[in-house]
Amino acid sequence: MTNPLYDTLFAAHAGKDTPFLYLESGTVMTHASFVRRAAQFAHALAGYGVTPGDRVAAQTAKSADALALYAACAQSGAIFLPLNTAYKAAELSYFIEDSGARVFVGDPAKPELKAVADKAGASFATLDATGGTLSASADAAPETFETVARAEDDLAAFLYTSGTTGRSKGAMLTQANLLSNAATLTELWRFTSDDVLLHALPIFHTHGLFVASNVMLMAGGAMVFLPSFDVDAMIDWLPRATTMMGVPTFYTRLLDDHRFNRDLTSGMRLFISGSAPLLAETHRLFEARTGHRILERYGMTETNMNTSNPYEGDRRPGTVGQALPDVELKVCDAAGETLPDGETGVIEVRGPNVFSGYWNMPEKTAEELRPDGFFITGDLGVKDEDGYVTIVGRGKDLIISGGYNIYPKELELVLDEQPGVLESAVIGVPHDDMGEVPLALLVAQKGKVPDVEAIRAMLSETLARYKVPRRIEIIDALPRNTMGKVQKAALRAEYGA
């Protein structure tokens, strides 16, 4: 019996002294050395008692070792749970406890995280770009590890995605989910071993980990593995790259720099954007400046990628392209009936990329995964006669800021508990750089005035920075329909400018 994920993405490169990771320090890590490092981490995990099927949660800075930890989980049969590095201890507790993680790998500079692990009954190890206790264990371990046998329907990863109830859901992704999507995208986007991907995305998110990294591992190419997005670093490395994946913010910030021009990008063959819609103006400016047309695609935590504009052919600004070759996509009414082309409805998808369900949430799984395998995305879209999909709205009022998802209900639950606040509503408003940012609207309790600055300070201490509303305003009342539901569309119309 084999281990399809590990064998395909990692073991296939054992012994290859070809470049894999170009690091900011100037170091080049080969495919062979990466495979050996992953084996050392697999031994380190075993030392913490990790066995097949155990969850390994990780909130670590992006580094070669952090990526090797993902490979080690695949080799040892563990389920990898990457966590946003912006999450605070109060947010992390839920993920560690709900997942039943055997080990929680955290930043050595955050000693408070050990208490999170202790409370959840998990072992605590540390790892960052310079070392940590897990890294030290790996350093002393052998460079080969006996790969644990797994099947394609075995779970490979959990990714948590918040819901409107405020309770996060653990999307369970199988080996087949990850492999099928990587294979499809590698072929569709024409990636080969000659490619060098400029990688400035985080690797706690499906975009940077299961799209960018998996595709490059599938193709056998290399990555310029930058710790984060930095305009100067991007411009320095662009002449040595052939492709780039990013979020809209990457492209708007590059366009703001006069050095980003046709000469700089002459060696590039493909720019890909996702996680949030690109403005039509960004498309226009980008093509005028560089001669390249950005390729937009559409995916989500539960499915990885669902659609893509074509590599060759008409890349239509404002659309996310057509369904991937192995994905079925339909636009439906509330009852799940397929709508004619051109009509707006809820997007549903089915394919080998679609997750197997939500961890410990059978009722929620049944609500969103139909018996015939179609997943109800909650996104509102339109499909034209050529199959091009346009996302026209997002169910559940999801806000996407700089590529990160913000769920208003999570913020509203906190805001409603603040002194002097009767009720609240959080909406996304347009932002030139981030795409959208959250705006909090508060209704005061009778005779009281909420302390806006104190509320902002509290949010900054307890929530990831990108979730904190850019503005907090006090209004007289929230608009409601006859059923008492807050009309967020009306709020967006009033405050969106």
Burial class, 292, CB count within 10 angstroms (exposed 0-12 / middle 13-18 / buried 19+): middle
Residue with tokens 């509303």: 469
Is residue 301 domain-shared with residue 403, that is, in the same domain? Answer: no
Is residue 443 domain-shared with residue 480, that is, in the same domain? Answer: yes
pLDDT of residue 393: 64
Whether residue 292 is contained in a domain is answered as: yes
Whether residue 321 is contained in a domain is answered as: yes
Is residue 239 domain-shared with residue 280, that is, in the same domain? Answer: yes
Is residue 26 domain-shared with residue 95, that is, in the same domain? Answer: yes
Q: Which residues contact 380 (CB under 8 A, 6 or more apart)?
A: 344, 345, 346, 347, 391, 392, 393, 394, 395
Name the DSSP letter for residue 62.
S
Distance, CA of 71 to CA of 81 (rounded, Å): 12
Is residue 235 domain-shared with residue 347, that is, in the same domain? Answer: yes
Helices assigned H by DSSP within 10-124:
31-47, 64-76, 89-99, 113-120
Tell me, what amino acid is at 403? G
Indicate the pairing of strand 243-246 with strand 270-273. parallel
CATH code of the domain in which 9 resides: 3.40.50.12780
Is residue 407 domain-shared with residue 471, that is, in the same domain? Answer: yes
User: Which residue, 447, 439, 454, is CA-closest to 488?
Assistant: 439
User: What three-state secondary structure class fits 84?
Assistant: coil
pLDDT of residue 394: 64
Give the pair of three-digit tokens for residue 390.
């346009």
Is residue 129 domain-shared with residue 26, that is, in the same domain? Answer: yes
Percent of the chain with pLDDT over 90: 80
> 111: how many CB neighbours lie within 10 A of its CB?
11
Whether residue 164 is contained in a domain is answered as: no
pLDDT tens-place string over residues 161-198: 854 345 789 999 999 999 999 999 999 999 999 999 99
Residue with tokens 């967020």: 488
User: Which residue, 329, 371, 367, 368, is CA-closest to 350?
Assistant: 329
Q: Give the chain's residues under pLDDT 50.
A: 163-165, 482-483
Starting at the edge strand that comes first in sequence, how are the strands of the sheet with 270-273 ordered? 28-30, 19-23, 222-225, 196-199, 243-246, 270-273, 295-300, 304-308, 322-323
pLDDT of residue 165: 43
Name the DSSP letter for residue 25.
T
For the four alpha carbons of 67, 69, 75 and 77, in that order, the dihedral sign comes to negative
Is residue 485 domain-shared with residue 474, that is, in the same domain? Answer: yes
pLDDT tens-place string over residues 218-235: 999 999 999 999 999 999
Whether residue 166 is contained in a domain is answered as: no
Is residue 369 domain-shared with residue 287, that is, in the same domain? Answer: yes
Whether residue 82 is contained in a domain is answered as: yes
Name the DSSP letter for residue 226.
-
pLDDT of residue 54: 98
Which of 151, 186, 211 is the last residue before a domain boundary?
151
pLDDT of residue 282: 87
Distance, CA of 441 to CA of 415 (rounded, Å): 10
For residue 408, give its domain range.
398-495
List phi, psi (to 5°) of 407: -105, 110
Whether residue 177 is contained in a domain is answered as: no
Which of 112, 130, 151 is the last residue before a domain boundary?
151
Is residue 213 domain-shared with residue 250, that is, in the same domain? Answer: yes
> 20: how many CB neighbours lie within 10 A of its CB?
24
User: Which residue, 139, 165, 124, 151, is CA-closest to 65?
Assistant: 139
pLDDT of residue 166: 54
pTM of the model: 0.85
The number of domains in the chain is 3
Whether residue 175 is contained in a domain is answered as: no
Distance, CA of 401 to CA of 384 (rounded, Å): 27
pLDDT of residue 162: 56
Distance, CA of 150 to CA of 94 (rounded, Å): 28
Beta bridge partners of 444: 421
Which of 96, 127, 151 is the last residue before a domain boundary?
151
Is residue 403 domain-shared with residue 386, that is, in the same domain? Answer: no
Is residue 382 domain-shared with residue 417, that is, in the same domain? Answer: no
Whether residue 104 is contained in a domain is answered as: yes
User: What three-state secondary structure class fits 73?
Assistant: helix
List phi, psi (to 5°) of 243: -145, 160
Q: Which residues contact 124 (CB under 8 A, 6 or more apart)?
A: 103, 104, 106, 113, 114, 117, 118
